[in-house]
Amino acid sequence: MRILLRLAWLEAKLLLREPITVVFTLGLPVVMELVMGGVFGNRADPAYYRGVGAMDYYMGAYVGLVVAALGLITLPTHIATYRERGVLRRFDASTISRSTVIGAQTIVMIGLAAIGAVLVVAVGVVAYHPATPASWPLVFAGFVIAAVAFAMLGSLLGLVVPTARAAQGVGIMLWFVMLILGGAGPPPEALPDAMNLVGSLTPLKHAVILIQDGWLGFGWNGKEALIVGGFFLVSLALTAVVVRRRTAR
Amino acid sequence: MPMTPNDVVLAVEDLRKTYGATRAVDGVSFEVRRGEIFGILGPNGAGKTTTVECLQGLRRPDAGEIRILGLDPARDLAVVKRRIGSQLQESALPDRIKVWEALDLFSASVDGAAPWESLIDDWGLRAKRNAQFGSLSGGQKQRLLVALALVNRPEVVFLDEMTTGMDPVARRVAWSLIERIRDDGATVVLVTHFMDEAERLCDRAAIIQAGKVVAIGTPDELRSTHGDTVTVTFNGDEKDRALAAKVQGVESATIDETAAVVSPSAGAASTEGGIEARGRGPIGVRIAASLAKAGREPADYAVTRPTLEDVYLAITGDVDADEDTDRHAAKGATP
């Protein structure tokens, strides 16, 4: 545990020595936010955005989007880079286990997601004056569940994609698909049924609703929490299988 | 020195590991004794690294038994890792990590770690203490990776091609440091394909080819069992050649008159030439003795013993043809 936190702190320092990727990943959701905000403002239309103001809706959605960007792009690319360059191998031969290394990166990713979430919300509040969260604890709980689930998914991706380059490509692709279909892009009400169906197969859609419900005062959404938790458990199980298979080689 | 079971720190019995159709390790057995530098030599793709990775617990062997410090790495991995040190081939650290941060992190992960500031000095990294891993030269990276392998005061240290990428001076510095690791009480398993390195450092060595141990012993034993013959050369005439040919152990003695050096003292009657005698055993001394007895003292008398490289080449022969396929098979299986 001590070494996990120490490594996480070190990983955070390493990240700050190469800030471009972080700035890019945290900046993308803000850019999306400003585009969508510029288009829709914070008008409420009963037919769209679950009946609330566009930016009220997007606040929770963008928190989910930040989490997804870090989980789908940053984390897998980082883990795959370590794997490709032999860093994980070096740790395998030491008393610091591979799971500690991945755990430390996960902690850093969740920390960055928190920073990114604050950033995207702060920009939104200043620019569009959306509603503040109806329940801070529910929003926080939703964020934590989403962040942990995406961190696990990202770890899995990082371990199975062949190269760091592939990790980046796959991550960006998944992120854009989830962005468009998962409720953080066009309003779901405007999408054809087929697209919404595909969207509901992605974890982002459920993470977004989970966070939004706390934010907009719809209460705790146990069903969505379970679904996001399910994505976590499936990723965890698959990661365990992958790690086992690799150590048996 | 009498051998007790305690003297064996590492025992490998019939180790086997297959990747697909490639038998990377095909029945390897050897023992390493406490306090020695044991070399594992062999061409690329011979199975050296796979063998060592099984010993380190990085790979699970298909069959065979490994006892390292009395433990099975497959079962007691955490304890084994605590007591061994590993410098791996094709491994790295994050580019942005600083030299001191890496040492600090690795030593924080074990109780009773070596003071890493002195490792920085030992391995010549003082000037690079605050440099990032990505900015180090190949040799500096290797030295840092070796220093990291030593932070836990290991009893057995594995060094896999550690001097690759070092310049000649750095290599010699590394050699004396390897001897120092041994002098400080650790056992060293040295994987290398530099024969000068093995000759200089190894107390004993195993030559591995195509997944099998093809020779094992001290460098002298390897030389006498598998070595090419000893060669004695000097300038002399036919009488000298005949003298050399009669010496016990000499298998051939030839004279090459085209390579003759005409000496004014020899006179017209005798024709001198380059004599070359080949044989086994201490023929250098014996030929010299019989020449001296006959009053002959050639100034250019020279004895060439086979180097470990000659032994190695004699044993492994020319395997360029399969080398590449083996290496690809091994690469594909790298985790």
Classify A44 as helix, strand or coil. Answer: strand
Q: Any idea which residue has 């989910």 for tokens?
A: A64
Contact of B229 with B280, CB cutoff 8 Å: yes
Give me chain A's average pLDDT, please: 91
Q: Any idea which residue has 């679950």 for tokens?
A: A50
User: How confident is the model over B166-189, as pLDDT tens digits?
Assistant: 888 888 888 988 998 999 899 999
Residues of A in contact with B96 (CB under 8 A): 14, 17-18
CB contact under 8 A, B91 and A17: no
Q: CA-to-CA distance for A139 and A52, rounded, in angstroms?
A: 17
Tell me the domain boundaries of chain A.
Answer: 2-247
Q: How many other β-carbons are positioned within 10 Å of the β-carbon of residue B317? A: 10
Classify A215 as helix, strand or coil. Answer: helix
Mutate which of A16, A21, A90 to disrupt the B interface (most B C-beta within 10 Å)?
Answer: A90
Confidence of residue B335 (pLDDT cuts 50, 70, 90): very low
Q: CA-to-CA distance for B19 and B27, rounded, in angstroms?
A: 14
**Residue in A3, A89, A246 nearest the CB of B109:** A3
Chain A positions contacting chain B at CB under 8 Å are 2-3, 6-7, 10, 13-14, 17-18, 82-83, 85-90, 92-96, 246-249
CB contact under 8 A, B91 and A247: no
B56 touches chain A (CB under 8 A): yes
Span B150-155, average pLDDT: 93
Q: CA-to-CA distance for B200 and B220, rounded, in angstroms?
A: 12
B144 Cα to chain A: minimum distance (Å): 12
Strands B63-68 and B204-209: unpaired
B60 Cα to chain A: minimum distance (Å): 5
Angle, CA of A9, A15 and A19, to the nearest 5°:
145
Residues of A in contact with B78 (CB under 8 A): 95
* pLDDT score at B270: 59
**Residue in B58, B97, B109 nearest the CB of A96:** B109
Sign of the CA dihedral with A123 first, then A127, A132, and A133 last: negative
- The secondary structure of residue A71, as a DSSP letter, is I
Cβ under 8 Å to A: B residues 138-157: 145, 148, 152
- The secondary structure of residue A53, as a DSSP letter, is B
User: How confident is the model over B66-117, as pLDDT tens digits?
Assistant: 999 999 998 898 899 999 999 988 889 999 999 999 999 999 998 888 889 9
B106 touches chain A (CB under 8 A): yes
The greatest distance separating any two alpha carbons of chain B, rounded to the nearest whole angstrom, comes to 81
CB contact under 8 A, B110 and A95: yes
Q: How many other β-carbons are positioned within 10 Å of the β-carbon of residue B43? A: 22
* pLDDT score at B15: 94
CB contact under 8 A, A94 and B109: yes
Per-residue pLDDT at B20 exceeds 60: yes
Per-residue pLDDT at A138 exceeds 90: yes
Strands B22-33 and B8-19: antiparallel
* pLDDT score at B6: 61
A208 Cα to chain B: minimum distance (Å): 34
Backbone torsions φ then ψ of B261, nearest 5 degrees: -110, 115
Strands B230-236 and B187-192: unpaired
Q: CA-to-CA distance for A177 and B73, rounded, in angstroms?
A: 45
CB contact under 8 A, B56 and A248: no
The torsion angle over the Cα atoms of residues B40, B197, B165 and B23, rounded to 10 degrees, is -20
Q: Which of A98-112, B61-75, B94-108, B214-228 has the lowest mean pLDDT?
A: B214-228
User: What domains lie within chain B, and their CATH numbers?
Assistant: 5-225+311-332 (3.40.50.300), 229-305 (3.30.70)
**Contacts with A216 (C-beta within 8 Å, 6 or more apart), sequence order:** A50, A52, A56, A57, A60, A131, A134
Give me chain B's average pLDDT, please: 85
B28 Cα to chain A: minimum distance (Å): 18
Q: CA-to-CA distance for A149 and A139, rounded, in angstroms?
A: 15
Q: CA-to-CA distance for A199 and A177, rounded, in angstroms?
A: 8
Per-residue pLDDT at B323 exceeds 50: no
Q: CA-to-CA distance for A210 and A221, rounded, in angstroms?
A: 6
* pLDDT score at B264: 53
Span B257-268, average pLDDT: 55
Contact of A112 with A118, CB cutoff 8 Å: no
Taking CA atoms, what residue in A is nearest to B145? A90
CB contact under 8 A, B92 and A90: yes
CB contact under 8 A, B105 and A10: yes
* pLDDT score at A185: 83
Spatial strand order in the sheet of B273-279: B250-256, B273-279, B230-236, B302-304
Residues of A in contact with B50 (CB under 8 A): none
Amino acid of residue A133: P
**What percent of chain A has a predicted confidence (pLDDT) above 70?**
99
Contact of B223 with B207, CB cutoff 8 Å: no
Span B135-161, average pLDDT: 92
Q: Which of A64, A96, A93, A70 is nearest to A183 (CA)?
A: A64
Per-residue pLDDT at A4 exceeds 70: yes
Amino acid of residue A36: M
Q: Which of B212, B219, B210 is nearest to B319 (CA)?
A: B210
Residues of A in contact with B86 (CB under 8 A): 93-94
CB contact under 8 A, B132 and A17: yes
Taking CA atoms, what residue in A is nearest to B154? A94
Backbone torsions φ then ψ of A227, nearest 5 degrees: -65, -45
Half-sphere exposure (Cβ direction) of A183: Cα atoms closer than 13 Å: 27
Taking CA atoms, what residue in B is nearest to A79? B94
Per-residue pLDDT at B265 exceeds 70: no
Per-residue pLDDT at A9 exceeds 70: yes
Instruction: State the complex-level ipTM.
Output: 0.87
B22 touches chain A (CB under 8 A): no
Q: Which of B266, B183, B280, B180 is nearest to B225 (CA)?
A: B280
Per-residue pLDDT at A161 exceeds 90: yes
Q: CA-to-CA distance for B222 and B225, rounded, in angstroms?
A: 5
Q: Which of B99, B95, B112, B195 is nearest to B146 (CA)?
A: B99
Strands B84-87 and B156-160: parallel
Q: CA-to-CA distance for B290 and B328, rounded, in angstroms?
A: 55
Contact of B17 with B25, CB cutoff 8 Å: yes
Backbone torsions φ then ψ of A47, nearest 5 degrees: -80, -20
Confidence of residue B329 (pLDDT cuts 50, 70, 90): very low
Q: Between helices A203-216 and A222-247, what is the axis angle to 10°?
A: 140
Residues of A in contact with B134 (CB under 8 A): none
CB contact under 8 A, A90 and B81: no
Q: CA-to-CA distance for B306 and B226, rounded, in angstroms?
A: 10
Q: CA-to-CA distance for A5 and A224, rounded, in angstroms?
A: 31
SS3 of chain B: the string is: CCCCHHHEEEEEEEEEEEECCEEEEEEEEEEEECCCEEEEECCCCCCHHHHHHHHCCCCCCCEEEEEECCECCCCCHHHHHHHEEEECCCCCCCCCCEHHHHHHHHHHCCCCCCCHHHHHHHCCCHHHCCCEHHHCCHHHHHHHHHHHHHCCCCCEEEEECCCCCCCHHHHHHHHHHHHHHHHCCCEEEEEECCHHHHHHHCCEEEEEECCEEEEEECHHHHHHHHCCCEEEEEEECHHHHHHHHHCCCEEEEEEEHHHCCCCHHHCCCCCCEEEEEEECCCHHHHHHHHHHHCCCCCCCCEEECCCHHHHHHHHHCCCHHHHHHHHHHHHHCCC
* pLDDT score at A21: 80
Q: CA-to-CA distance for A36 and A127, rounded, in angstroms?
A: 12
